[in-house]
Structure 1
Amino acid sequence: MPRNRQDVDRDAKVAEIRRTAVSILRDGGPSALSHSAVAKRLGLARTAIYWYFPTKDDLFVAALADVYAQDLSTPPEDDHVMTRLRWAVESLTALQPLTHAMHERAKHSPAAADLEAGFQEAMTSRLRALLAPHVEPDRLDLVTATIVVFVEGLLVQARSAQERQDLLRFLVAELVGEPVDPV
């Protein structure tokens, strides 16, 4: 008989469920993540997972938010535009299947739509801050938006890391108008 873990406090249970959901999401992708999979791995009743995450989208969004926080929260300390952008593009490339799943779910899930909007806002804000010292203030919003659109398109195309870097380097050099890569 599965355990119900009444002896563990709520925050600890939620953290344990989220860690397990992240592990399942990383190992098998969005299709592998379910209340049943998490419950089985933790030795809990499936209904125990529903208590904390009422829908599959709630579980997916919580796990994906944790993946994003783990994988995108510590950019390189190097302040060069290209170093940071290369890191971001390669990190986002690795996460693309999960990001695509979030985008698809956002069409029907308010939780996924909120995560997608928050993710977009955070990434745009970080990019804007990175570019601000290099771009005239009256061009900053347009340059930021252009790079965001470019990177989104770049992420859905099958390109090598070198091709992604070359295209990104060209775009940033054209938009920023100065050498941007510490070769």
Structure 2
Amino acid sequence: MPRNRQDVDREAKVTEIREAALRILREGGPAALSHSAVAKDLGLARTAIYWYFPTKDDLFVAALTDAYAEDLGDPPETDDIMPRLAWALERLTALQPLTHALHERARHSPAAAELETALLQGLTTRLHALLASKVPPEKLAPITTTIVVFFEGLLVQPRPPEERLRLLEFLISELT
């Protein structure tokens, strides 16, 4: 019998569900994440998860948002472009299976499409801030777009880490 948790604060419940969803997502990928899997992990009734995350996409987006925040939230403290871009590229490469699932779900899910847009805007904003003092203002937008497209291309056509770094160094030396 699932446990009764009426005494637990709503935000604490949501946090606990999100943590379990993230754990399941990291361990088993998008296919393993479900309301039932989270409920089983937490010893709750499946309906308790639906109360906070009505659809599988809502659950997936919450877990993936946490994965991105965890994995991309603390870039290296340096003004040097290359270490920061190399760090971001490696982090995004590690998240590639989840990002691919996000792109697939974004076609049908408003919640996934919203996260996809926010992720792209966040990446673009960070790149603008990183590059603003290094490139002329009139080149900032096209260079930022080129780097984003380059990152996306490497995520679709994976390369070994040393080749990714070599290609990134070449791109940055040509653009800046």
**Fold conserved (TM > 0.5)?**
yes
Deviation of 1:128 after TM superposition, in Å, equals 1.0
* Secondary structure of 1:24 counterpart: helix
Displacement of 1:158: 2.5
Q: CA deviation at 1:99?
A: 0.3
In structure 1, the residue matched to 2:9 is: 9
2:48, 2:23 → 1: CA distance? 18
Cα deviation for residue 154 of structure 1 reads: 1.0
Q: Which has the higher contact order (CA 8 A, sep 6+)?
A: 1
Query: Hey, what does 1:69 align to over in structure 2?
Result: 69
Q: Tell me the equivalent position of 1:57.
A: 57
Within a 5 Å distance, the mapping from 1:73-84 to structure 2 comes to 73-84=73-84
- Is 1:154 the counterpart of 2:158 in the alignment? no
- Counterpart residue number, 2:141: 141
Tell me the TM-score normalised to structure 1 length. 0.95
Distance apart, 1:157 and its partner CA: 1.3
State the one-letter code of the partner of 1:98. Answer: L
Partner of 1:175: 175
Distance in 2 of aligned mates of 1:100 and 1:3: 36
Deviation of the 1:107 alpha carbon: 0.1
Distance (Å, rounded) in 2 between the aligned partners of 1:3 and 1:64: 27
Counterpart-to-counterpart distance in 2, 1:4 and 1:113: 34
Query: CA separation in 2, counterparts of 1:77 and 1:47?
Result: 44
Give the counterpart letter for 1:93 in structure 2: T
CA distance in 2, matches of 1:4, 1:112: 31
Shift of 1:64: 0.3
Secondary structure at the aligned position of 1:158 is classed as: coil
Return the alpha-carbon distance in structure 1 between the equivalents of residues 4 and 27 of structure 2.
Answer: 25
Q: How does 1:100-111 map to 2 (within 5 A)?
A: 100-111=100-111
Aligned partners of 2:97 and 2:158: how far apart in 1? 12
Match of 1:30 in 2: 30
Residues matched between the structures, number: 176
Match of 2:119? 119
Aligned-pair identity (%): 70
RMSD: 0.6
**Is there any run of 5+ residues in structure 2 with no aligned partner, and where?**
none
How far apart are the structure 2 equivalents of 1:4 and 1:44? 8
